[in-house]
Structure 1
Amino acid sequence: MERTERFCKIEMLIRSRGCVSFADLMTELAVSRATLKRDLDHLRTRMDAAIVYDRDRNGYRFETVGRNGRRSFMAESPGVWFNEREIHALLTMHQLLDGLGVNGSMSRHLQPLLDKLHGMLGTSETVARELTRRVRVVAPVHRPVRGRHFERLASAVLERRRLRLTVDGDDGGRERDRVVSPMRLVHEDGVWFLDSWDHDHEGLCRIPLPSVRSVERLDLRAKEVSMRAVETELDSALHRA
């Protein structure tokens, strides 16, 4: 378990149970006595976490009354617990889930995950909100896929069916029809692409979905090409239709 994850779990254990013994913390975190002592010392001295040892209850709890007489749980602004990669991943996940909105068909399934992720970003609702305001991950501009094309293309990828696509010509030229065997969908730089076997040109290609004007499902099995071959040819360079 990474140190950042241990810090988060210590905070959640104390907050959920009120008071947790040293032995229980060791068991829950699966760490040595020395590691736990270092973690607790770091939280209290470096991150101003109001964790105190309660002799009467033989455990660790949050201090409820600070020296100034005010209520003080874990510091309202305990510093950043995350390194660069962790905060980027957490905020990107938060942004993606939050972007789905509350009215979608998946919202009731995703809300618990969003709530859990929100809790990981801060020790209180106020801290989490402030963090998402003060640390911003700017996502690439998303170019929407027209109509129901994405769902139809994704179904064809999974069901291994050929497609006849009408796509924009190069440099805004005439539209053209292409018969393809879809291999996979790839999201890159804010755009979805369809990696396919082009039956007219007998080769692999990468088609940007915003250029797709129409999709016709054909009653033919898709040509099978190994994913290793697809990855080797299409991931090694920028191939565009």
Structure 2
Amino acid sequence: MNQTERLYRIDQLLHERAVVPLGTFLRELEVSHATFKRDLDYLRGRLNAPIEWDRDAGGYRFGVAGAGGQYELPGLWFNPAEIYALLTMRQLLSSLGPGLLTAQVEPLLARMRLLMGEEGVSIDVFEQRIRILRLNARTCEPEHFMPVATAVMNRKRLLISHHNRFRDETLQREISPQRLTHYRENWYVDAWCHLRNEIRSFGLSAMCSVTITEDSAVEVSAAELGAVLDSGYGIFGGREIQWAELVFSRERARWVSQETWHDRQESWFDDEDCYHLRFPYSDPREVSMDILRHVPEVSVVSPSSLRETVTDLLHAALKRI
């Protein structure tokens, strides 16, 4: 326990127990009498803490504040474990998208640098030792994230210029954002689309411009959102659901059996230790790509339409090789 932790623990004990014997402090802080006296002198001399010895009660307590500034512990002191956790969170935030929350996080980071220096650990060394790698992430404009997040929380509509990559066209849309989703290294906003009058999911990386309006967002219930966006597979939602059944070889099962492909998936091992996985989907595009990652260690049992889709993709791929 470093000095910062000890100072907060002394303050906590005095507030919780009113009178604290010396032996309790030494046991709780795990320090010598001399170290405790130095901490006490620091609290009294530097922070103006009105801590006094009560002979009759047999312990230390807070007395009446004397002259000088009011006693108050600094509001942003962390122990080493908390500092490491916060810096790891900062690394994770950075990995979610360049520039996201940078303005909000940097003041905290400045304080973290100071505290890390007090612990004798360089923040640069920490960042070299903790890595979060982003794979298959598309660029998300930082200036688009904050207005989308603000509209989601404040329940306002958005005017967006959105590029549809499948049709290679850009449309102006008014949407009522419902929630932000971070999926497979990319950000999406699930929203009610006023152009199509239905629930849609829009990738932030496909947005060319974003403007918050003064109009209140149309509210969509969590149940309806789930029925459209969460019942299918991956990012492709839909109300018309089919169930896929895949079989993975015994060797590949060692990895796939530890994965979650869908919240409603069903799975089992057969007598030959092959792994069967059954889950719902509404659009074959994403699930087909995931199946192809495991070729030739996977078989599509059903439905036949999905098996035909994967077969066609394999044939098309062979023609290109």
TM-score by length of 2: 0.41
Equivalent in 112, 119, 132 of residue 117 of structure 1:
112
Matches of 1:163 and 1:223 in 2, distance apart?
Answer: 14
User: 1:239 corresponds to which residue?
Assistant: 235
User: 1:194 corresponds to which residue?
Assistant: 189
Equivalent in 174, 197, 221 of residue 168 of structure 2:
174
1:29-71 Cα shifts (integer Å, max 9, x gaps): 87x9898655544xxxxxxxxx5421xx96255xxxxxxxxxx
Change in Cα spacing, 1:118 to 1:203, as seen in structure 2 (3 Å) is same
Equivalent in 28, 37, 58 of residue 59 of structure 1:
37
Report the residue type matching 1:91 in the other structure. L
User: 2:13 corresponds to which residue?
Assistant: 26
* Correspondences of 1:214-229 after superposition (within 5 Å): 214-215=209-210, 221-227=216-222, 229=224
User: 1:138 corresponds to which residue?
Assistant: 132
Is 1:230 aligned with 2:225? yes
CA shift at 1:24, angstroms? Answer: 5.3
CA shift at 1:209, angstroms? Answer: 1.0
* Higher RCO structure, 1 or 2 (CA under 8 Å, sep 6+): 1
Change in Cα spacing, 1:210 to 1:240, as seen in structure 2 (3 Å) is farther
Change in Cα spacing, 1:117 to 1:94, as seen in structure 2 (3 Å) is farther
Report the residue type matching 1:27 in the other structure. L
TM-score by length of 1: 0.51
User: 1:67 corresponds to which residue?
Assistant: none
Q: Is the 1:143–1:210 contact (alpha carbons within 8 Å) kept by the matching residues of 2?
A: yes
User: 1:161 corresponds to which residue?
Assistant: 157
Report the residue type matching 1:167 in the other structure. H
CA shift at 1:181, angstroms? Answer: 2.3
Give 3-state SS (helix, strand or coil) of 1:140's partner: coil
Equivalent in 203, 216, 232 of residue 198 of structure 2:
203
Report the residue type matching 1:169 in the other structure. R
1:161-210 Cα shifts (integer Å, max 9, x gaps): 2535432233xx32153553222333444422111113455432221111
Q: Is the 1:146–1:210 contact (alpha carbons within 8 Å) kept by the matching residues of 2?
A: yes
Change in Cα spacing, 1:94 to 1:40, as seen in structure 2 (3 Å) is same
Q: Is the 1:167–1:214 contact (alpha carbons within 8 Å) kept by the matching residues of 2?
A: no
1:184-238 Cα shifts (integer Å, max 9, x gaps): 3334444221111134554322211112235577786532213464367545652
* Correspondences of 1:2-151 after superposition (within 5 Å): 7=1, 11-12=3-4, 26-27=13-14, 40-41=29-30, 52-54=32-34, 59=37, 61=39, 82=81, 89-95=85-91, 96=93, 106=103, 110-111=106-107, 113-118=108-113, 121=116, 123-124=118-119, 126-129=120-123, 132-133=126-127, 135-140=129-134, 143-146=138-141, 148-150=143-145
Q: Is the 1:193–1:207 contact (alpha carbons within 8 Å) kept by the matching residues of 2?
A: yes
CA shift at 1:132, angstroms? Answer: 0.9
Structure 1: state its 5+ residue gaps: 1-6, 42-50, 62-79
Q: Which has the larger radius of gyration?
A: 2
**Number of residue equivalences:** 187
Aligned-pair Cα RMSD in Å: 4.8
